[in-house]
């Protein structure tokens, strides 16, 4: 249950956007902020791509994007869509034929910029294909590939140019009476992306797909995304997110979720609250948290667990968590359940014991009527 009504300093007022559907996943309006990722296998390698989609979905991805660079990929897409547990977005650049093929293959959404497809006739054909197959569209403006006339007008990539590009593409879809679209204005520069998204948010009610593009490796990209996306989400901007990392798509999903969890915007799995540890620790906090993170990956029920080295902060943190463990003396510590001290447990058995307690609590929460996110 949300406690935001008694903790107003935690409130985030989401920008009001239109709701569209990406397959069976609502994006925008009051819908939960969805987490996306993208496969990096060859799309023509159906088995590898499906395995990656499934792994991402298992990690919590609501939507997965797949590149469709050629006709063979369009053919593969059909099989991938059939096998995928989540809606598939087809990533198309320039080739209007690929857009039509992807819509026919069952893509839930096309990532395509209508202004870059070519003649008005081709634009019309792609939009018709999307409409006929219940496919939404994501306009994906990227600071690195802005239209030439905008670069000439503005001199260099900048938020104004990105927003103008986005609004131009929006106009084309609206002129075709097509409204099932969302939009992104990504840049690898956090300042540019944040400024572009803020401007865009004021000029359209379309759902917004957030991303910091080419953010970098797991560590640096996570930090960049947490700062860029975190700030925007905190302002209430963003209906779906993708964290771009030079890493496994599963990591992108995990990072996306962690950003949303930190802001109380989505809840999934065990939120572990742990201390950094110091000389006072009654057990090895770091190793324990590492082990628990792995052992609790299968829990999808939103819940909290505090793992605190000693009584300085342990009882206080345990008050606010579903399950807690606080280190004590003589090789054992105190287990807390629903905020109350429950029983002692020896350090050598505590990991198995905590996993059991968390699994039990997850079952209880699942059985409770208001357990759902």
What is the distance between the terminal CA atoms of the chain, rounded to a whole angstrom?
9
User: Using the rule CB under 6 A, is 275 a contact of ligand SF4?
Assistant: yes
Q: Binding site annotation covers 109?
A: no
Segment near ligand SF4 (CB under 6 A); pick from 30-38, 92-100, 229-237, 308-316: 308-316
Closest to 256 measured CA to CA, from 264, 270, 244:
244
Q: Binding site annotation covers 252?
A: no
One character per residue 200-219, x = contact with ligand SF4 (rule: CB under 6 A): --------------------
What is the Cα 183 distance to its own chain's centre?
15
Taking the complex as a whole, how short is the minimal distance between the CB of residue 317 and ligand SF4, in angstroms?
A: 8
User: Using the rule CB under 6 A, is 334 a contact of ligand SF4?
Assistant: no
Exposed, middle or buried by CB within 10 Å (0-12, 13-18, 19+), for 343? exposed
Name which position in 238, 309, 324, 333 contacts ligand SF4 (CB under 6 A): 309
User: Using the rule CB under 6 A, is 312 a contact of ligand SF4?
Assistant: yes
CA atoms lying within 13 Å on the CB side of residue 119: 4
CA 219 to each of CA 16, 40, 133: distance values in angstroms, whole numbers, following the listed order: 32, 19, 39
* Strand bridging mode 303-308 / 323-327: parallel
Residue given tokens 């997110």 in the structure block: 241
Residue number with CB closer to ligand SF4 (116 or 347): 347
User: Using the rule CB under 6 A, is 308 a contact of ligand SF4?
Assistant: yes
Number of residues that bind ligand SF4 (CB under 6 A): 11
Tell me the DSSP string of 11-73.
---PPP---EEETTEEESTTSPPEEEEE--S-TT-HHHHHHHHHHHHHTT-SEEEEE--SHHH
User: Using the rule CB under 6 A, is 306 a contact of ligand SF4?
Assistant: no
User: Using the rule CB under 6 A, is 329 a contact of ligand SF4?
Assistant: no
Q: How far apart are CA 130 and CA 29, in angstroms?
A: 21
Closest to 108 measured CA to CA, from 129, 133, 85:
133
Name which position in 310, 318, 350, 354 contacts ligand SF4 (CB under 6 A): 310
Q: How many CB atoms lie within 10 A of CB 362?
A: 22
Q: Binding site annotation covers 317?
A: yes
Cβ atoms of 157 and 146 closer than 8 Å: yes
Residue number with CB closer to ligand SF4 (41 or 277): 277
Segment near ligand SF4 (CB under 6 A); pick from 64-72, 160-168, 173-181, 310-318: 310-318
Name which position in 74, 113, 188, 281 contacts ligand SF4 (CB under 6 A): 281
Q: Binding site annotation covers 135?
A: no
User: Using the rule CB under 6 A, is 41 a contact of ligand SF4?
Assistant: no
Six-digit token pair at 363? 């079952």
Which residue is closest to ligand SF4 by CB?
A: 309
Segment near ligand SF4 (CB under 6 A); pick from 36-44, 127-135, 206-214, 304-312: 304-312
User: Using the rule CB under 6 A, is 287 a contact of ligand SF4?
Assistant: no
Cβ atoms of 20 and 136 closer than 8 Å: yes
User: Using the rule CB under 6 A, is 280 a contact of ligand SF4?
Assistant: yes
Closest to 184 measured CA to CA, from 169, 225, 254:
169
User: Using the rule CB under 6 A, is 278 a contact of ligand SF4?
Assistant: yes
| Consecutive H or E run containing 287 | helix 285-295
User: Using the rule CB under 6 A, is 273 a contact of ligand SF4?
Assistant: no
Segment near ligand SF4 (CB under 6 A); pick from 39-47, 204-212, 238-246, 270-278: 270-278
Taking the complex as a whole, how short is the minimal distance between the CB of residue 325 and ligand SF4, in angstroms?
A: 12
Q: How far apart are CA 322 and CA 237, in angstroms?
A: 30
Residues that bind ligand SF4 (CB under 6 A): 275-278, 280-281, 308-310, 312-313
Which residues are annotated as part of the binding site for [4Fe-4S] cluster?
275, 278, 310, 317
């Amino acid at each position: 249950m949300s406690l935001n009504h008694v903790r107003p300093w935690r409130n985030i007022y989401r920008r009001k956007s239109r709701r569209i559907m990406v397959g069976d996943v609502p994006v925008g309006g009051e819908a939960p902020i969805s987490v996306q990722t993208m496969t990096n296998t060859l799309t023509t390698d159906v088995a590898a791509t499906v395995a990656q989609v499934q792994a991402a979905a298992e990690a919590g991805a609501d939507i997965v994007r797949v590149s469709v660079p050629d006709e063979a990929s369009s053919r593969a897409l059909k099989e991938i869509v059939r096998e995928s547990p989540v809606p598939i977005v087809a990533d198309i650049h320039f080739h209007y034929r690929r857009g039509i093929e992807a819509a026919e293959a069952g893509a839930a959404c096309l990532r395509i910029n209508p202004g870059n497809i070519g003649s008005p006739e081709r634009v019309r054909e792609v939009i018709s294909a999307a409409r006929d197959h219940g496919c939404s569209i994501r306009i994906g403006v990227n600071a690195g590939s802005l239209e030439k006339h905008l670069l000439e007008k503005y001199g260099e990539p900048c938020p104004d140019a990105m927003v103008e590009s986005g609004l131009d593409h929006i106009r084309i879809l609206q002129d075709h009476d097509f409204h099932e679209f969302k939009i992104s204005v990504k840049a690898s520069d956090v300042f540019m992306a944040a400024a572009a998204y803020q401007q865009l948010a004021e000029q359209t009610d379309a759902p917004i797909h957030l991303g910091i593009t080419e953010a970098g490796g797991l560590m640096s990209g996570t930090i960049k995304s947490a700062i860029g996306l975190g700030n925007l989400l905190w302002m209430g901007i963003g209906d779906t997110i993708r964290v771009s990392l030079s890493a496994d798509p599963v990591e992108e999903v995990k990072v996306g979720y962690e950003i949303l969890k930190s802001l109380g915007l989505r809840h999934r799995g065990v939120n572990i609250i742990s201390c950094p540890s110091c000389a006072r620790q009654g057990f090895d906090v770091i190793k324990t948290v590492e082990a628990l993170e792995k052992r609790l990956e299968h829990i999808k029920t939103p819940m909290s667990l505090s793992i605190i080295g000693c009584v300085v902060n342990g009882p206080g943190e345990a008050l606010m968590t579903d399950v807690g463990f606080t280190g004590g003396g003589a090789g054992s510590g105190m287990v807390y359940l629903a905020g109350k001290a429950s029983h002692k447990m020896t350090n050598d058995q505590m990991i198995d014991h905590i996993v059991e307690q968390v699994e039990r609590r997850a079952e209880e929460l699942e059985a409770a009527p208001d357990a759902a996110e």
